[in-house]
Amino acid sequence: MQQYNKVSAFILGMFIFMGLASLGYLLGSAAIEYKQFDRSVTVKGLSEREFKADIVIWPIQFTAAGNDLESLYVSIEDSTLKIKDFLGSSGINIEEITFSSPSITDKSAQQYGGNARPEFRYSAIQTVTVYSENIETVIKVMGSLSTLGKQGIVFSGGNYQSQTEYLFTRLNEVKPEMIEEATRKAREVATKFASDSDSKLGKIKKASQGQFSINARDKNNPHIKKLRVVSTVEYYLSD
């Protein structure tokens, strides 16, 4: 009876061993197959193009000073009218020209002690803004604005409020074609990688599109915009 129990235990142990061995083999094979299935390559594709801006915002800022407030307002209105007439005669549509309210500073109200008095009590800043789609015309007029400077108008520049802006508003029109180009270039890179590694390129595992960036091509041509987008794509690889 004892001998029978030993034989039964031995046989049961063999079955358990064989079962564990088979399970280990199956798990090992599954892991290898999963590892092969999970092989992938991540690549990036770039699309970069240049376009002309389609809107220009040109703020023309000038200053005036005086001791009589009423005379100062008259001077501002006179200068504003000269600028408006000049822009209209240079080919800029009158409807594209707007005027802000002048900003007046009373320097005597800003004195904090001391006996020094400014030469002019009041100073004013006025801004005339051109908002136009006719960029080439506006650029030409910019170069001839000094004509008004000879008439006594003091223009101010260099600050943030007087900087010219060039806008590109047709992004939605060019976006699909640029995304297609970036994706195509990413696939070309992935195909070359698969070929060099003796693999076959499979389906897309994951893809993401970067943000579009719009910048001036260079500081001398801010009206020419460079658009750029990068697509990141991960492809499956197989033997």
Domain 40-54+169-239 coded CATH 3.40.30.10: no
Confidence at residue 223, expressed as pLDDT on a 0 to 100 scale: 95
Confidence at residue 123, expressed as pLDDT on a 0 to 100 scale: 92
Q: Could you give the angle at the alpha carbon of 233 between the alpha carbons of 236 and 34, nearest 5°? A: 25
Confidence at residue 110, expressed as pLDDT on a 0 to 100 scale: 66
Q: What is the tens place of the pLDDT at every residue in 1-40?
A: 555 455 555 555 555 555 555 544 443 443 334 445 568 8
**In Å, how far from its chain's centre is CA 43?**
22
Confidence at residue 112, expressed as pLDDT on a 0 to 100 scale: 57
> Over pLDDT 70: what percentage of the chain?
79
Torsion angle in degrees (nearest 10) through CA of 218, 220, 223, 229:
0
CATH class of 55-167: alpha beta
Mean pLDDT in the chain? 84
How much is the CA Rg of the chain, to the nearest whole Å?
37
How is residue 52 written in tokens? Answer: 């002309």
Q: Could you give the angle at the alpha carbon of 127 between the alpha carbons of 125 and 133, nearest 5°? A: 165
SS3 content of the chain, % helix, strand, coil (to 5): 45, 35, 25
In the chain, domain spans: 1-38, 40-54+169-239, 55-167
Q: Which amino acid is at 33?
A: E
Residue 133 has pLDDT above 70, yes or no: yes
Q: What is the tens place of the pLDDT at every residue in 148-186?
A: 888 889 998 767 677 899 999 999 999 999 999 999 999
What span, in angstroms and rounded, lies between the C-alpha atoms of 45 and 178? Answer: 10
What is the mean predicted confidence (pLDDT) over 192-207? 89
Q: What is the pTM of this model?
A: 0.75
H/E/C letters for each residue in 9-38?
HHHHHHHHHHHHHHHHHHHHHHHHHHHHHC
What span, in angstroms and rounded, lies between the C-alpha atoms of 235 and 213? Answer: 25
The 3-state DSSP class for residue 107 equals helix
Which class for 27: exposed (0-12), middle (13-18), buried (19 or more C-beta within 10 A)? exposed
H-state helical runs in the chain: 2-37, 69-89, 135-142, 146-149, 171-196
Residues forming a β-bridge with 98: 129
